[in-house]
Amino acid sequence: MQIHSFNSKLLSKYSNINWEDFVLALEQVFEQDISVNIVFVKEKYIKKLNNEFRNINNVTDVLSFPLSNTSEIYICPRYINRVFKRDKFTQEIMRVSIHGILHLLGYDHKGKFEKDSQEEMFKIQEKKLEEVLNLLKKKMYLLVGLGNPGEEYENNRHNAGYMALDRLEQLLTKKDFQPTGWKKEKIFNSDINTFEKNNIKIVLLKPLTFMNNSGVAVKKALKKYSLEDMSKELILIHDDLDIPLGQYKTQMEKAPKCHNGVKNVEDHLGTNQFKRVRLGVDSRDGKNIPGEKYVLMDFSEEEKVSLFEAIDCALEELLLNLN
C-alpha cells in the first residue's frame, strides 16, 4: 500500500503525532497493492462531501472514496477534536484512518463503533490499530560504558567502557542513526548521546561519578528513561581482568570478580538481571602486577589495536541482537 497525505497542518493543531511514522506503520500493516490519498479537511468541506455523496447534511469524521487509480480518504480533525482530546484524539485519528482504509478494501458495518463490538469490520479495525501502535512503540536501549572522567584516565584499561561507547558512536552514525551529540546531563551526572532510527532509540551514557560510584548515575538514568524491562533494555559495557586482551563475552548476570564499578551498579539496582559486555583487558603475561593498579595503567598503541578489534566485533554482535 502507498499512502500520501495532504493538508496535515490541520492535524498539527490538535496533535503532535509523528504522521510520517504512522503512515509507514499503516503501509506495513496493510499489504494490499493500492494507492491512497489521506486528505485532512475543514468541517465545511466534509459536510459538503457528506451531503453530495450520502445525502446526509451533517459534519462527519471520515469519508472514503474508492477510485480506479488512487483512492481517497477525507478526515476532519476539528470534528474529532470535539469529542477526543490529546492522546485519545491521536488514537482516534489512527482509528478513523484505518476505518477508512477498510471501507476501501470492501468492508462495511451496520452500526456505530462501540468497544468490544462484534461486527467483523470493527474487530479487524481494532486488531489493525493494535498492530500499528505496537509498530510505533520505540524500542529503547540504555548502553552504559564504565570508566573514570578526566584526561589522566583517558587511556586506562579501566576506561574500556568509555572507549567502547566512542567506537559505538561511530558505528551508529555509519548505520544512519541520528545523534543528538554528547552533552552533560546534570540529573544523573553523566555524559549522554542519544541516537534514533525508525522506532529504535539508543542512549549512550558515560557516568561521571567515577568508577566506584557508577550505580548512582545508572539508577537515576533508569528512572528518567522509564525502562520497562531491564533485562533487555539495559546493557553495561566494562573492562574485565578475567578475560585476555582482544577477547570479549556478552552475558547476562555474569560479572567479573572484584570489579567495584559493576558491583556498585548491581548494589544500587538491587539486581544483576541485565546484560553486560565484558571486554578483556588483561595482557600481564605472568607479570605480578596487582589488579587494582593494573587497571589504572594505560594501553599501549599495540594493545589498543587488539582492544578495538574486540570492541568492534562485540558491538556489531550487540546491534544485530538489538535489531
**Domains of the chain: total:** 2
For residue 25, the model assigns a pLDDT of: 86
Tell me, yes or no, whether 190 and 245 share the same domain. yes
- Percentage of the chain exceeding pLDDT 70: 99
Give the count of beta carbons closer than 10 Å to the beta carbon of residue 130.
Answer: 11
The residues assigned a catalytic role are 158
Statement to judge: residues 118 and 145 lie in one domain = no
Mean pLDDT over each residue of the chain, to the nearest integer: 92
Q: What is the pLDDT of residue 88?
A: 87
pTM of the model: 0.65
204-238 residue pLDDT tens: 999 999 999 999 999 999 988 878 789 989 999 99
Residue 323 confidence (pLDDT): 61
* Owner of C-alpha cell 555474569: 254
The answer to whether residues 72 and 46 touch, using CB atoms and an 8 Å cutoff, is no
Query: How many CA atoms lie less than 13 Å away from 99 in the CB half-sphere?
Result: 16
**Is 184 a residue whose pLDDT tops 80?**
yes
Write out the three cell numbers for 34.
493500492
User: Are residues 150 and 276 both part of a single domain?
Assistant: yes
pLDDT digits (tens, 9 = 90+) for 142-180: 999 999 999 999 999 999 999 999 999 999 999 999 999
Residue 122 shares a structural domain with residue 183:
no
The distance from CA 231 to its chain's CA centroid, rounded to whole angstroms, is: 16
Last-in-domain residue among 136, 165, 182: 136
pLDDT of residue 11: 87
Residue 285 belongs to domain spanning: 139-322
Higher per-residue pLDDT: 2 or 165: 165
Q: Examine the domain organization and report whether 71 and 162 are in the same domain.
A: no
Domain boundary among 95, 115, 136: 136
Half-sphere exposure of 185 (CA within 13 A, CB side): 21
Q: How far apart are CA 283 and CA 289, in angstroms?
A: 11
According to the model, what pLDDT value does residue 174 have?
A: 95
97 and 151 share a domain? no
In the listed set 77, 106, 136, which residue is the last one of a domain according to the structure? 136
Question: How many C-beta neighbours within 10 Å does residue 57 have?
Answer: 10
The whole-number average pLDDT for the span 59-86 is 91
Say what percent of the chain tops pLDDT 90: 70
Give the DSSP letter string of 29-81.
H---S-EEEEEE--HHHHHHHHHHHH---S--SEEEE--SSEEEEEE-HHHHH
Pair (306, 191) in one structural domain = yes
**Rounded to 5 degrees, what angle do the CA atoms 316, 321, 323 make?**
95
**pLDDT tens sequence across 47-70:** 999 999 999 999 999 999 999 889
Same domain, yes or no: 144 and 83: no
Pairing of strands 178-179, 248-252: unpaired
CATH number of the domain residue 55 falls in = 3.40.390.30
Examine the domain organization and report whether 153 and 282 are in the same domain.
yes
